[in-house]
A and B are shown apart, each in its own frame.
Chain A
Amino acid sequence: MASPIRILTAVPICDGHDSAINTINLEFIRHGIEVIYLGYHRSVGDIVRAAIQEDVRAIGISSYNGGHVEFFADVVKHLKKEGAHDIKVFGGGGGTITHADAKAMERKGVDKIFFAGTSLDEMANYVRENYSKPRQKRSLAKTRDIELARRLTEIEEAKGRKAAKSHARSTSTARVIGFTGPGGAGKTTLIDELVLRFLSHKPKARVAILSHDPSVVGEGALLGDRATMINSQHDRVFMRSMATRGQAGGLSPATEGCLRELIGAGFDYVIIETVGTGQEAMPFQKNGIVDMTVLVMNPDYGARLQLQKIVMLDLADIVVVNKTDQARARAAISEIEQRLDQNRRAQQLVASVAKRHRDSGVDQLFGLISGDGLARAATKKRR
C-alpha cells in the first residue's frame, strides 16, 4: 500500500477564521490524507519552514481576512527561494477571493483556488488526484533542512526498512530525550516551553523534534502539534510530525530510522514525543538510543493502585507531574513520590504547570535535561 499523502494546512497571519479549515481537515483525513495542521495566524516564514521540514506534497491555505493575493504569492516565492519548488500551494477563501483574484494568484504560481460552494469531496479528490503520484526525480536539495526532510520521507515511505545513513552514534553530541505519557497530560506544551528555554539560554543550539500522532494503516491522520507549539516554529528548530500508521506503543514503524537520521544531523538536542500512551506502553527501551526518558502525567490518573500498573514509572529517568494547579495535585505528587521510592533508582520528580509562563517546574526540568544550572538550586535530589 502506498504511503498516505502528506499535506500542510494553515490560516494566514492576522486571520483567525479556522472554522472552514477545521472542517476541511477532517474531510481530508477521512479521505486518507495525513494533514499537518499549522493553525491560524501564521506567517509566510512559519508556513514555508514547516512545509519544508515536513516535506509535504502541498500547502493548503484558508484565507478569509484579505490580503490573500500577496500572501499566497509570498508563500510561493518563499518556497522557490528556499529551493522547495515541488511543494504546491492551493487554497480558498469562500467569497473573499474573487475569480479575478484567483487568476492573479494562479499567474503567480498558486496551483488551485477553490471557490465558495465547492463540495468537501471535490477538494479532497483534487488533493488525492493531484498530489499522490510518487515524486520521481527530485532536484538536488538546496538546503540542509530540505535534504534532511527528504531523507526522513524516504525512511518513512520504506516503513523503517530503509536504514538511516551510517551516522555513527558515537560521533554525535546530540542529547536525545524521549517524552511519553497519557494523552492530555500536556506533553506538547511542556516540550514547547522547554524549546523556548533552549533557544533563549543557548543562543546557538539547534533542536530537533520528532512528534507522533496516532493513525491506522492506510488512513489519514491529523498531525496538529505544530499548531500549539508556537515557540518551536523557529529557524533553529527542526520539527517533524509522524503518524504511527498502525503501529501500537506510541511510535511509528519508521521512528527509529528517523531518529537515527536526526541524531546524525548535528542537533544539540533531539526530542521525541510519543502519542498519548496507555499504562502498558514502553516506547523507549532500556539502553536504546534515547539518553533520557521523561514521563509526563497529570494528577487525575485515578486511584493510587493505578500507579502500580504504569510501566514507564519504573523506566523513566524523570517523572513530571504537570497541571499541578488542578485538583488533587498534592496527593498525586506524594503518591508518585512513594511509588518511585520503591524503585530505588535515581529518578527525578518534577511538578509543573507548563501552560504558565516562566513556570519554575519547567525551569527545573530544563536544568535537568540541559545539565544547566538554571534551576539546579531548585532541584530536589531524590534519595
Chain B
Amino acid sequence: MSKLGQVVESVEKYNQFVLDQVKRARTDEKFGRDLLGRWNDIKAKIPVSRAPTGLELPRLALPEIDEPGEIARYLFGEGLPGEFPFLNGAYREMYLEPVREVEEGSYGKNGGETNGKIDKKILQAEEPTRLFSGFMLAEDTNERFHYLTAHQRTHRLSTAFDGPTLYGIDSDADGVFGKIGEGGVAIDTVEDMVRLYEGFDLGAPTFSASMTISGPAPIIMAMYIAAAKRRFGPKVVPKLRGTVQADIFKEVQAQNETIFPTEASLRFLTDMVEFTTREMPRWYPISISGYHIGEAGSTPVQQAAYTLSNGFAYAEMFAARGIPIEQFGPRLSFFLDCGLDVEYIALSRVSRRIWAIGMRDAFGAGPRGQMFKLHTQTSGRSLVAAEFKNNLTRTAAELMLAYMNATNSSHSNSADEPFTTPSEEWIRLAAHSQAILLEESGIFKHTMNMLSGSPGMKAVERAVEAAILEEFREIERMGGVLAAVENRYQRSQIQNAAHRYEQQIYDGTRPIIALNKYRNGEDDAPEVKLVRTPRSKQQLQVDRLTKFKKKNAEKAKRALGKLADVVERGENCFPALLEAVEVCSLGQITERLQEVVGRFRPMV
C-alpha cells in the first residue's frame, strides 16, 4: 500500500472515530458532561465584535447545539477555526478586522493573552496583494515590480516567465525569437536574474519573491540564490523568503511544461527541497497546484483529488529521501482554482480536512505540518469574451466561494482576460472586488464562520469528500500517484472532463450567459492594443546571452562536466547547480542534464 492508501484509511478511521465520540458523548455521562463544559467555556470566551451600525455580534459563530453528541460531532468532525481537522479554517480569525477597542468584560478579560498575540499578528500582517507580473526583459519587469510596490509596506513580487524560460530553452534557440519576453519575462542567465530584482532588498523580512515555474525550477531557484549572493553576499541565503512552484506532477498531468522525464524531474526537485529546507528555512520550495488541473478542464473533485494525492506523493518522496517531516511539512503550500460549479461551496474546506488527517495520521506530522495553506485563484476558464463585463459578476461569485472556504490568499481575474493580457483598468476592478467583499461588506470581517455549516454546505462536504476518497482508491489501485501518472490516468480523466464540459456548452446543458443563453449576438469586446515585446528588445536579449556565453565558455564547460558527473553518480545535484548557474545559461544546463537523464516524452 502506498501512503495514499494509508491516507484513505486514516480518513475512514477518523470519520469512524468522530461517530464513536458522538456515541460516547451520548452514553458516557462524564464524557458528555465534560464536552458540554468545554463547549460552554468556548462560547463564554468568544469576544464581541461591533458592526458600523452598532450591532453587536460574536467574533466566532458556533452552531446552536447543547446536546453532547452534536457537540462532539462539531468539535471532532470539523474543529474550531484554527484547530484540527481545520475544516473551518487554517487559522482562528482569517479575515476578521482587528479588534480596535478591547471591550471590558469580553475579549480583553477572557482571552487576553491569545488576543494580544493575534492582534499583533494582524497589525503586522502583510498586504494580501501579490500581483502576477512579467513581460519583456528583466529590466522591464523590474520597473513594473517597483511601480506595483511603490506604496506598499511589504514587497511581495510574483514572477511570470516567458515560454522559452518555462521550457528551459535559451533565447537564442532555433525558432523561439518571437516568444522572447511574451507572456512573461525572459531569463537566460544569472545576470538577468540580478536585473530582475534590482533595487529590492532580497534578504529583508518585508520582501518575498514568488516564481511561477516548474520544469526548470531547480535551475531557476539556483539562479535566484546566486543572484542574491552576488548582491548581498552568502549570508543572505538563510534569510531568503518566497516560493517557487516546482510542481512536476501537475505539469505531467495537465500543464505540459516538463523538460526531463518524470522520475528525473522528481529527483531534481527533491534535491532542491533537501537543500532549501535545510539552508533556507523561510522558503516554500513547492506550490502544489490544482489550478492548472482545473483550468485544463478537470471536474472540481478531480482537481482536489489529484492535487491532494500529488501532495501526499511529494511528502512520501521527501520523507523517503530522509528530509525530516517537521522540516518540509510546514513548507508545503497549495494553490487551487475556484469556479462556479456547486462543489466549490466546500471543495477547499474538505481538502483542508483530508490534508490535516492524512498528514497527522499517515505521516505523523505535527500541527504546523497538518495545515493546508491555500492560495485560491478565480477560474480563468469560466470567463468568456461574449459580453465580457459579465465576468465581473462571475469573478465576484467565485471570490465569495473562495472566502467561504477560508482561503489564505486569493487572486481575482480580470474581466478582460478572455481576449487580452489584463489591462490596468480591469486589473484594478478585479483587485477591488476582493476589497469590496472583505473590507467594504460586512460578510467576512465581523464574524468567523459567518457562512459556514449550512445544511447545503454540509451536504456538499459529504458528497465531495466521498468522491475524493474514491479517486484516491482508484489511484491506489493503480499502484499510487507515480504509476497512475505514467498510465496517463489523471491526464485522460482531465481530458474526458474537458471534452464533456465543451459538449455541455455546445448542447446548452451548461448555460453560459451571453454565450449560449440570453445571447444578443454582439461582440462587445473592445479592440485592444496588446503590449508586445519589440524586436529590438528580443535582439538585445539574444546579444546579451551571446556575450555571456562567450565570456564564460571555458568555465561553463568545466561546470557542466562537473554537474553531469554529480548527476551520474546519483548525488544531490543542487550544490553543483549553484556553481553552474554562475557561468552557464539556463539552456546550456538543461541540455547537459537532458544528455544524462533524457528528455521528457510527452503524453497524448
Contacts and interface: CB of A to CB of B under 8 A. Distances in A.
Interface stretch (A115-123, A252-260, A343-351, A372-380): A115-123
Contact of A98 (B163, B255, B498, B530): B530
B69 interface: no
Nearest to B594: A357
B133 interface: no
A70 B602 contact: no
Contacts of A358: 598
Interface centre among A14, A95, A224 (most CB of B within 10 A): A14
Given A13-B163, A117-B386, A19 B182 contact: no
B257 A117 contact: no
A341 B599 CA distance: 38
B506 A120 contact: yes
A71 interface: yes
Contacts of A23: 498-499, 502
A224 B491 CA distance: 15
B296 A19 contact: yes
B385 A117 contact: yes
B419 A98 contact: yes
Interface string A1-30: 000000000000111111100110010000
B254 to A, nearest CB: 8
Contacts of A269: none
Interface stretch (B139-147, B172-180, B229-237, B282-290): B172-180
Contacts of B598: 357-358
A94 B183 contact: no
A100 to B, nearest CB: 7
A71 B296 CA distance: 23
A99 B169 CA distance: 30
B603 interface: yes
Contact of B498 (A19, A100, A189): A19
B358 interface: no
Contacts of A132: none
A116 B419 contact: yes
Given A94-B418, A189-B601, A357-B597, A66 B163 contact: yes
Nearest to A225: B604
A228 interface: yes
Nearest to A73: B178
Interface string B152-182: 0000000000111011010000111111001
A139 B287 CA distance: 55
Interface string A65-93: 11101110010000000000000000000
B515 interface: yes
A164 to B, nearest CB: 31
B423 interface: no
A179 interface: no
A74 to B, nearest CB: 7
A132 B296 CA distance: 32
Contacts of A330: none
A284 interface: no
Contacts of A120: 502, 506
Interface in B376-435: 384-386, 417-420
B183 A66 contact: yes
Interface residues of A, number: 45
Interface string A45-74: 100000000000000000001110111001
B55 interface: no
A70 B177 contact: yes
B256 interface: yes
A227 interface: yes
Contact of B506 (A70, A71, A98, A119): A119
Nearest to A65: B163
B174 A45 contact: yes
Interface in B511-543: 515, 523, 525, 527-528, 530, 532
Given A117-B385, A230-B601, A66 B179 contact: yes
B261 interface: yes
Nearest to A119: B506
Contacts of A17: 256
Nearest to A78: B175
Nearest to A95: B419
B385 A14 contact: no
Contacts of A74: 175, 178
Contact of A357 (B255, B261, B297, B523): B261
B106 interface: no
A327 B532 CA distance: 52
B179 A22 contact: no
B506 A67 contact: no
A39 B183 CA distance: 21
Nearest to A323: B486
A8 to B, nearest CB: 14
Interface in B211-268: 251, 255-257, 261, 264
A37 interface: yes
Contacts of B603: 228
A357 B419 CA distance: 41
A355 interface: yes
A14 B506 contact: no
Contact of B178 (A69, A116, A117, A189): A69
A42 to B, nearest CB: 9
B604 A224 contact: yes
B379 to A, nearest CB: 13
B15 interface: no
B34 to A, nearest CB: 50
A360 interface: no
B115 interface: no
Contact of A41 (B182, B499, B596, B602): B602
Nearest to A226: B604
A125 to B, nearest CB: 14
B129 interface: no
A37 B163 contact: no
A96 B179 CA distance: 14
Given A119-B506, A189-B601, A16 B257 contact: yes
B495 interface: yes
B601 A70 contact: no
Interface in B102-150: none
A148 interface: no
Contacts of A228: 601-604
A247 B239 CA distance: 66
Interface centre among A18, A99, A119 (most CB of B within 10 A): A18
A99 B604 contact: no
Contact of B528 (A15, A19, A98, A357): A98
Given A65-B179, A95-B420, A16 B256 contact: yes
Contacts of B604: 37, 39, 224, 227-228
A40 interface: yes
A39 B597 contact: no
Contacts of A26: 499
B295 to A, nearest CB: 8
A171 B471 CA distance: 58
B419 A44 contact: no
A43 interface: yes
Interface centre among B177, B499, B532, B601 (most CB of A within 10 A): B601
Interface string A177-210: 0000000000001001000000000000000000
A95 B163 contact: no
A22 B495 contact: yes
17 contacts: A13-B163, A14-B179, A16-B251, A16-B256, A19-B297, A19-B498, A66-B163, A66-B182, A71-B178, A71-B179, A94-B418, A95-B418, A116-B385, A116-B418, A116-B419, A230-B599, A355-B261
5 pairs of A and B residues whose beta carbons are closest in the complex: A14-B163, A16-B256, A357-B598, A70-B178, A66-B182
Interface of A: 13-19, 22-23, 26, 37, 39-41, 43-45, 65-67, 69-71, 74, 94-96, 98-100, 116-117, 119-121, 189, 192, 224, 227-228, 230, 327, 355, 357-358
Given A14-B163, A44-B175, A98-B527, 9 more contacts: A14-B162, A41-B167, A66-B163, A66-B532, A67-B182, A70-B177, A74-B175, A117-B386, A230-B601
